[in-house]
Amino acid sequence: MTEYRFARPDEENDVLDFINAVFSQAARPHDFARLIPKVYAHEGFYVHHALALEGSRIVAAVGMLPVKVRLGADHPLLQAGYIGSVSVHPRFRGQGHMQALMRMQIQEARRRGYDFLALGGQRQRYQYYGFEQGGMTGAFSVNRANARHALPEGKQFRFEEVAGKDHPALGLMKKWQERQNLSCLRDGERFLDTLRTYGGVPYAVFDGERQEWAGYIAALDKQITELVLKREADLAAVLGAWVREKGNAVLLVPGGLWGRWQAVQAFSESCEISDGEMVKILNWEKVLSAALCFQAESKALPDGEWTLAVQDAGEWTLRVRAGKAQVDPAEGKADACLEEKQAVRLLFSPLGALLPGNKPPCAWLPLPLEIPIADQF
């Protein structure tokens, strides 16, 4: 008989061995202690995992990592749960283990009062549990021709790989990351391991002219997954120096950082806009309020009012007046009545402004809700 429960301390090594084995059989060899060191290179990760067991043998596992998300400096943090390490032994597939464990983790998230859940994976597979594609990322391609013709020389900037916790810039990197308006809270002791998620390589940026550390870059192959600067005015010069030294790059910029979108589009070769994670919202009022208020702070929004009813969740009125946004429980008739997946797609996906039907002013959309790659699971 199958037993479904959360992992115990003495099963920690078994959990790691199991997910390594399942993922390695499905694709290339996996070593999760190196792939996601912020979790699996430290003791205590068993608490994040729900298990299916046949006797004492693990046959399926689903993890959920707590993530605190900041949308604006003056708003309450959003508590998210990131679903990952979803694994079922090949001989035990088709028996409902993943369904049972996903429901366990969703129920646990509700019990803990989480505001939303996120994950990456095949769309239809996770739509069964109420997840839908949301969030938005711009992938800006910057090549050597762009650097030669449109970017300042920036010769004073050099890049130094942060290989260990004794690097002199590490403390500053953590402080700069904490000041970002769209970011996730990170454990200071695991900050470097967080930047190494999925094989990321962190580099400190040194300004030779000012003789000081000026920011950091997290690189993953040709992608710049994170670029945090002491002075945003150095953006073009730092990118120019990076491309001249390292070659063509793709800078990822999440939706909501509209000032950076505007700056980078002026000189990049091209931009690809895509969905971020799949999300399931548990506390609609809190998430809507945080996202709409942050959006109003990030760019000018036209005045408007729109009332949304989300099936089995509630009804809210979204308002923007003179640049100020607010979300309140609805009192009148809803302008749109949607299932939760439809509402996520409309409000948080880059396709939202293009979809037919009743919707708020297109200039409000998409609302920002993004978890950086380094904070994913």
For residue 313, the domain's CATH number is 3.30.1050
Question: Are both 337 and 352 inside the same structural domain?
Answer: yes
pLDDT over threshold 90, residue 163: yes
Q: Where are the beta strands (DSSP E) in 45-131?
A: 49-54, 57-71, 78-88, 116-119
Q: What CATH number did the domain enclosing 164 receive?
A: 3.40.630
pLDDT band at 66 (very low <50, low <70, confident <90, very high): very high
Which range is least confidently modeled, 1-15, 21-35, 44-58? 21-35
160 part of a folded domain: yes
Are residues 253 and 288 both part of a single domain? no
Q: What percent of the chain has pLDDT over 70?
A: 99
Q: What's the pTM? A: 0.94
Specify if 131 maps to a domain: no
- Residue 168 within any structural domain of the chain: yes
Are 48 and 162 part of one and the same domain? no
> Do residues 271 and 318 both lie within one domain?
no
Tell whether the model's pLDDT for residue 156 goes beyond 80.
yes
**Per-residue pLDDT at 153:** 84
pLDDT at 46: 98
Which has the closest alpha carbon to 249: 266, 277, 227?
A: 227
Domain boundary at 213, 248, 275, which? 275
**Which residues fall within 8 angstroms of residue 163, CB to CB, at 6 or more apart?**
none
Give percent of the chain with pLDDT exceeding 90: 91
Any bridge partners for residue 317, and if so which?
307, 328
Averaged over 323-351, what is the pLDDT?
A: 94
User: Could you give the CA distance from residue 343 to residue 308 in angstroms, rounded to a whole number?
Assistant: 8
Q: What is the mean pLDDT of residues 150-174?
A: 95
| Same-domain check for residues 146 and 170 | yes
340 and 290 in a single domain? The answer is yes
The domain boundary residue, chosen from 257, 275, 293: 275
Residue 39: domain span? 2-114
Asked, for residue 125, whether it belongs to a domain, the answer is: no
| β-bridge pairing 182-184 and 249-254 | unpaired
Residues 101 and 174 in one domain: no
Here the tokens at position 272 are 């690809």
* Domain stops at, among 79, 114, 149: 114
Same-domain pairing of 158 and 257:
yes
> Residues 286, 255: one domain?
no
What confidence tier does 307 reach under pLDDT thresholds 50, 70, 90?
Answer: very high
Q: Residue 356 above 80 pLDDT?
A: no
The CB density around residue 188, as the number of other CB atoms within 10 Å, is: 12
What pLDDT sits at residue 353?
79
133 occurs within a structural domain: no
Local structure of residue 303 (DSSP, 8 states)? -
The DSSP result for 257-286, as a single string, is -HHHHHHHHTT-SEEEEEE--EEEES-HHH
Total domains present in the chain:
3
